[in-house]
Chain A
Amino acid sequence: MIVISLIIILKVNWIRREGKENKYLEGNITMKALSILNYSRKNKNKVVSSIIPVLIAVTFLYLINTFVKSINNSLYKLSVSSYKYYATITAYDNEDIIEKVKNNKNVERIVPFMGYGIKYSIPGSLVFADVMGLRAQDMNYFLQKESIQVMIGRLPEEGKKEIAVNYLVAKNKKVTIGDSVGNALDKFDGINGEYKIVGILKGENMLSIVSFNNEILKDYDDVEKSLQRGIIAFPEKNKINEVNKLVEALPKGEAVYNTFNILSERFNKNMACLELLDVISILSIFLMVITVGSSKYVEFFNRKEEIGILNAIGYNKRQILKRAILEVLTVNTISYILGLLLGISLSYLVKENIFEKVGAIGVVFDEKALLISLYVPLFTTLFTVVPINAMINKLDPIDMIENN
């Protein structure tokens, strides 16, 4: 009887104690005390204020890089990509050069042209979009070789002041069929008078075409306009490289030669001014690393007591440093991911509302932008961890305890 009573009492006590413990367990933590998650949960403001500057820097760098890449791609499409399929020779006096090209086995056909331009303006750049003055009999051949289709309307008729405009250029100039272009309407256009738009073209490049008329024929004979006058050399199938080599090997100084290689090189040289972007990027990274690194260091410096007590109760410096590195890495990884998401979203908005709206190429994803914006969290981690490591190594827990 006594034994049974004792068992019951013990059991009741045990149940009471369990109940009490369960009661105090309720609503309590479910994560390790020293986990990064626990620190973040308890220090939301500090974590958010650590995330924001890196996030902004990542977003800024990503956006600025995609913005410049958009300008770059738009101008490349505008002025270089058409040369993937032909080479041109302008400003020539020596007909032998033309004969040599014409008779080469790799050249399928040569087409005479007059080069003009119409204003094309995108953020950060005001240039000419090429307008090719062609004979009516060459027009279909030209379109076929350049994979250009007539989207709406028709091709310009010979002798008339008509133009078929590339759809991106039309979008840029906010014109459509029935409207007119030319320097009579816009002084920045590089084609004389007023040309009525009769067709909209679509293709891999951004070429517009006009048909030879009396005025163009007059230009064709004008010596002063020899730079605009020339021939297009179309290669036989898969012979573009051979034709480019042929044109590039022609006597220097007797004409102006344009091939894909020459134009690409010239384009890259002109775009070298964009190296300024790299300087801006480096400066932003540097500033961000100094700012964020210092503020993160100050934050850890203010947690000197926590670090000291952890060391005093038995966590070694490597374990403490590992925790600090994990914390910095977590914050920077979150910042990078959020910054990228914001950068990509903003790049998308810029693409839609700034570039594509004016018939330019907008870039949303770019490897270089991803890489450059990665430098911010990487260097911030590095420049935060190095001084924190020095601080942890110097830390004397007893000194900290005795001086508090």
Chain B
Amino acid sequence: MIFKMESVNLVYDIGKEVQTFALKDINLSLDGNRFIGIMGPSGSGKSSLLYAMAGFKIPTSGKVCYGEIDYNKVSPSESAEIRRKDFGFIFQRHFLIDYMTVLENVLVPINDDSREAKIKAISILDKLGLAHLTSKKPYQLSGGQRQRVAIARALIGDPKVIFADEPTAALDHSSSIEVMKFIENYKKDKMIIVVTHDSCILQNANHVINMLDGAIVSIDKGRGGI
């Protein structure tokens, strides 16, 4: 199992009169290279689920494991190391570093200036149709192009898992389709977990986890395997 969640609760406002359950009694096991969607309305806990799996959020109770690693038992530094080596992240906004070029932004996770690293980055950018923009700055790109650079940044370290939190929320329809198409290309090599409230972009997902009020209400088992 790549990810295993056992009785996971994530509670905000502990000690206050009204507590908020971001995640409520989550039991989940995920493995294999596949495309997994997490669906739900705003505030349903889908992002919290993703961040708990990525080790960003430590649950109030329960256990989240990545492989053999129990997030409760690792330090923040070790958790960061796991994120850098094994995970790639795509967020709702691109979060590119404004003073760096496209190529430099892609190389940030590996911070490598070797020729090989640059060729690898250019090859990823080429697949994303951005090779001609390597020396441009983020402000010189369109929204879709920036998001594709963020995807390239997520892929540069050959991650085992790609976490995408609403990756198309800031994009128009055609850019969204383009971005998703590219992400989906990797589903044979990596586990891709995409959080969204837009079912359209999960059309090709192998599995979809539906959430409401912090709990998993259903899993689209039709596409099998969870």
Contacts and interface: CB of A to CB of B under 8 A. Distances in A.
Interface string B82-97: 1111010101110101
Interface string A356-374: 0000000000000000000
Interface string B73-84: 000110011111
A30 B84 CA distance: 23
B123 interface: yes
B105 A316 contact: no
Interface residues of B, number: 45
A29 B113 contact: yes
Contacts of B112: 32
B113 A42 contact: no
Contact-residue size bin, chain A (C-beta under 8 Å from the other chain):
35 or more
A352 B90 CA distance: 64
A27 B103 CA distance: 11
A35 to B, nearest CB: 8
A16 to B, nearest CB: 11
Contact of B126 (A20, A35, A305, A310): A20
Given A28-B134, A29-B113, A33-B104, A309 B77 contact: no
A141 interface: no
A305 B108 contact: no
Most chain A CB within 10 A, of B97, B98, B103, is at B97
A312 interface: yes
A30 B113 contact: yes
A38 B83 contact: no
Question: Which of A28, A38, A39, A308 has the most chain B CB atoms closer than 10 A to its own CB?
Answer: A28
A317 interface: yes
Interface of A is mostly: helix
A42 B100 contact: yes
B131 A309 contact: no
A315 interface: yes
Contacts of B111: 32-35
A31 B117 CA distance: 12
B77 A314 contact: no
25 contacts: A20-B131, A21-B119, A24-B103, A24-B125, A28-B103, A29-B104, A31-B113, A33-B108, A33-B111, A33-B113, A34-B111, A42-B100, A311-B80, A312-B83, A312-B91, A313-B108, A313-B109, A314-B82, A314-B84, A316-B80, A317-B76, A317-B80, A397-B56, A398-B51, A398-B57
Which 4 pairs show the lowest CB-CB distances between chains A and B? A314-B84, A314-B83, A316-B80, A316-B77
Interface of A: 17, 20-21, 24-25, 27-35, 38-39, 42-43, 305-306, 308-318, 397-398, 401-402, 404
Given A30-B113, A33-B113, A315-B84, 13 more contacts: A24-B125, A24-B134, A29-B104, A32-B111, A33-B100, A310-B108, A312-B89, A313-B84, A313-B89, A314-B82, A314-B83, A401-B165, A404-B93
